[in-house]
Amino acid sequence: MKRIVVTGMGAVTPVGIGVDEYWKNITSGVSGIDTIKTFDPSELAVQIAGEVKNFNPSDYLSKDLIRKTDPFMQYAYIAAEEAIKQSKLEVEPQRTGIVMGTAMSGIATIAFTQDALSGASHKKVGPRFIPKILGNIAAANIAIDYNIQGPSLTVSTACSSGGDAISTACMCIEAGKADVMLAVGAESVLCPLVIYSLANAKALSRRNDSPSTASRPFDISRDGFVIGEGGGALILETEEHALARGAKIYGEIKGCGNTGDAYHMTAPHPEGRGAIACMQQAIADAGIKPEEIGYINAHGTATNKGDFVETSAIKKVFKEKLPFVSSTKGATGHMMGAGGVTETITCLKAIETGVIPPTINLSEVDPDCAGIDFVANTAKKADIKYAMSNAFGFGGQNSSIIVGKY
């Protein structure tokens, strides 16, 4: 097995653009959730989200790139640019690849374009509409600008897409298809169409009067998740390649798990069989013991079933030696395809800094989730050698990524 290391990270999130800003705010308990500003939400039952704040695309992208990209692509590009710059990578075109993870690609552009078209002329549909909504074009834009000619893949496994992008990138390296892989996750689904559907499914929090406290993972008063948006990116490469070019190594990808519940279209298996198998698979892949993992960044979306099932699964895998567990979705909302990558970055930073980020808005732990230290509201100091990031999605998709100190 090849050792795969992390040499670059990038993040665009509701609590900050750039890994340093993201980490500062996520550990300080800052909430990135507020009333939606992208469009007027006043007629919607749900009017809150974790939007990327103070985002002006022209600060980061050329006018041409802005015109031909959906916001999720812009977040992906900016996160990838930060990761590449941090890694000081000189791309070897045919030995460098990219994997993109996104749950719903350009759905907001689809919705707003259809709305403009209804009752209007065909001229409301621009010639760039199709490439703006395709998931793979996010990777293509990055590949074109950085001359990445190796494997180019896009995975769409609902909310585990970001985690699966990482594991797919690792598989490409292990198979010898590339020496360096860029793993990216991004999402921007904010539009009435998506909100109506998720609200009608009773999946979303309706705390419109208190946005910053709406996302409440593991809390007894939780009433659903809050939509988030953003992007994350990691530069992954073989240890041999990283050392040969003198790269700074921020951590190691130790193990990856990927399973399916084979149970229900949207609900998790009530006994958490897919989540349990996924975490166990990642631990076996890492070649470590469960008790060596000091921290789990939980999927923890603040849905009633989801939080309970994940908590139950963690207890079954780790038994009496439970790690610290927190959900940063209390601060960012549910970033879907982006979350699997940004939350893996969270695990890497927790190991690097010895700080466990808190689960904010956790006033009273649901008795059904009790027995775990969820790092309520305030970050904790801890010496962590290994950490796990969980990302679970519709269709029973499960992803677990284990990172370790290098």
Residues catalogued as catalytic: 159, 299, 334
From start to end of 14-158, where are the E strands?
A: 16-17, 34-35, 48-49, 96-101, 152-155
Structure tokens at 83: 């990761």
Structure tokens at 368: 């059904």
Structure tokens at 378: 């305030």
Sign of CA dihedral 204, 205, 207, 213: negative
- Residue 121, number of CB atoms within 10 A of its CB: 8
Q: Does residue 98 sit in helix, strand or coil? A: strand
Q: Does residue 5 sit in helix, strand or coil? A: strand
For 85, residues 6+ apart whose C-beta sits below 8 A from its C-beta are: 8
Which residues on adjacent β-strands are paired with residue 326?
297
For 114, residues 6+ apart whose C-beta sits below 8 A from its C-beta are: none
> CB of 361 within 8 A of CB of 213?
yes
DSSP string, 7-58: EEEEEEETTEESHHHHHHHHHHT----EE--SS--TTSS--EEBPPTT--GG
Q: Does residue 37 sit in helix, strand or coil? A: coil
Structure tokens at 10: 């990038």
CA-wise closest residue to 364 among 216, 225, 223? 216
Distance CA 30, CA 322 (A): 26
Cα–Cα separations (whole angstroms), residue 253 to 170, 281, 406: 8, 14, 9
**b/e 6-23 (16+ beta carbons within 10 angstroms → b):** bbbbbbbbbbbbbbeebb
